[in-house]
């Protein structure tokens, strides 16, 4: 069985399709068009993003950068992996995975991820999702937007609950857990999120 760290070395990422990247003197700004947010990338992160094509693994990118910069590959691998996971959490890049639309047998162990083909628009009092395949629209309240944003990276139901309890003052954990389970099941059924298919 592969260790989580070894599995992370084999992950593939690409710049999100709704992101536009512009270089400025060794740094870069990424505009997340769907949410109208800016993210700044340092020079190291920009070099990583420039190599993303959805086919190269974290290990491939780290090897190329280590050779180019004359740095030890193990250290470069850790830096590249950490940078990509951070950019994934910020919504700059997305993981190349296969999503399954069926309800998992064990909902608590499943990792949920937003469907990259869904359009999201931030609003003052929540957000809007649009699924072009089904021509369906979903209105999100601010808490649902917090979940949607958090699912830019694969997360378990327990991780979503922990996140909501941390960001929502006075939240009652049992109620958050129940509401989160219902929300995830509803979004999965409507095709807005998927379950990450783990490699065999």
Q: Is the pTM of this model over 0.75?
A: no
Written as tens digits, the pLDDT of the chain (200 aa) is: 445 566 688 888 988 888 889 998 878 999 888 777 889 999 899 999 999 988 899 999 999 999 998 888 888 999 999 999 999 888 888 888 887 877 777 777 889 999 888 888 888 889 999 988 888 999 999 999 999 989 988 999 999 999 999 988 888 999 999 999 999 999 999 999 999 886 53
Tell me what pLDDT residue 200 has: 38
Q: Report the distance separating Cα 80 and Cα 138, nearest Å.
A: 35
Q: Whats the size of the chain, residue-wise?
A: 200
Of 160, 195, 19, 11, the residue nearest 95 (C-alpha): 11
pLDDT of residue 66: 92
Category of 36 on φ-ψ map: left (φ > 0), alpha (ψ -120 to 50) or beta: left
Q: What is the pLDDT of residue 5?
A: 62
CA 164 – CA 143 distance, rounded (Å):
8
């Amino acid at each position: 069985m592969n260790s989580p760290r070894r599995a992370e070395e084999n992950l593939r990422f690409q710049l999100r399709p709704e992101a536009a990247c512009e270089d400025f003197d060794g740094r870069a700004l990424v505009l997340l068009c769907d949410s109208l947010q800016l993210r700044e990338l340092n020079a190291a992160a920009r070099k990583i993003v420039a190599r993303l094509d959805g086919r190269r693994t974290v290990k491939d990118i780290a090897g190329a950068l280590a050779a180019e910069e004359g740095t030890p590959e193990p250290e470069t691998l850790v830096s590249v992996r950490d940078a990509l996971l951070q950019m994934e959490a910020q919504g700059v890049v997305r993981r190349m995975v296969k999503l399954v639309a069926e309800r998992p047998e064990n909902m608590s162990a499943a990792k949920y991820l937003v469907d990259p083909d869904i359009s999201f628009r931030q609003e003052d009092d929540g957000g809007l999702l649009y699924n072009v395949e089904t021509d369906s629209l979903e209105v999100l309240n601010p808490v649902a937007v917090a979940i949607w944003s958090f699912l830019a990276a694969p997360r378990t139901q327990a991780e979503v609950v922990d996140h909501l309890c941390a960001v929502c003052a006075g939240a009652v954990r049992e109620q958050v857990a129940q509401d989160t389970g219902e929300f995830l099941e509803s979004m999965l059924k409507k095709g807005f999120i998927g379950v990450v298919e783990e490699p065999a």
